[in-house]
Amino acid sequence: MKLYYFSEMPHHEYPDEEGAPAIPRCAWPSPTASSTVRRRPPTTSAISPSTSWPTSVGFDGLMINEHHSTPSCVNVGANMTAAVLGRTTTRAKLLILGNILPIEDNPVRMAEQIAMADLISGGRVLSGFVRGVGVETWWANANPVHNRERFEECHDLIMKCWTEPGPFRWEGGTITSVT
């Protein structure tokens, strides 16, 4: 079994009594936003500046996710966070769980971002994909009826990008090799 440190990176300063499903921009002033984002996830250790404290106490790595327009998670870019952690840590595996495929308009770009984070980390990125929750579908103005088929098509395209030599065409689920 592998054990990963995980934090949703919640916005603690958002007043509970508001209870809104989304954070209005005016409710999150820049100094508060900066402080919230910079303190998560914890990556430094008193033992060694190159080792994240979760790995120094026995965790196998750091798990990263993203949500959009919600006070329960302020991380809106799991791939960017993985790249930062890839540069600021040396041992921890970086588990992205995950990228929300049904709201992604350009899966090739996502494949590139994850690959770049993996290169920066020296091969420590583990990538997982999710279908997301209702607020993400609403936030992205995506039709929830197509959630499953969009997930599957994005997944297949990303896997193709990572495993097949290119270039190739992708036309709505049909892969055509370019010769």
pLDDT at residue 89, as a whole number: 85
pLDDT at residue 48, as a whole number: 39
pLDDT at residue 167, as a whole number: 86
DSSP for residue 123? S
- The single-letter code of the amino acid at 48 is S
State how far the Cα of 45 lies from the Cα of 57, in Å rounded to an integer.
Answer: 10
String of DSSP letters for 167-179:
-EEEETTEEEE--
Is 178 exposed, middle or buried (CB count within 10 Å of its CB: 0-12, 13-18, 19+)? Answer: exposed
Examine residue 58 and say whether the peptide bond preceding it is cis (omega within 30 degrees of 0): no
DSSP for residue 14? S
Kindly list the domain boundaries of the chain, sorted by start residue.
4-177
pLDDT at residue 44, as a whole number: 43
Q: What is the mean pLDDT of each run of 10 residues along the chain (179 residues)?
A: 78 57 56 63 44 74 81 79 88 90 91 97 96 84 90 94 87 57
Alpha helices, DSSP H only, in the chain? 30-38, 53-56, 78-88, 107-121, 134-139, 147-163
Name the CATH topology of 4-177: TIM Barrel (3.20.20)
State how far the Cα of 150 lies from the Cα of 143, in Å rounded to an integer.
Answer: 10
Write down the pTM of the prediction: 0.77
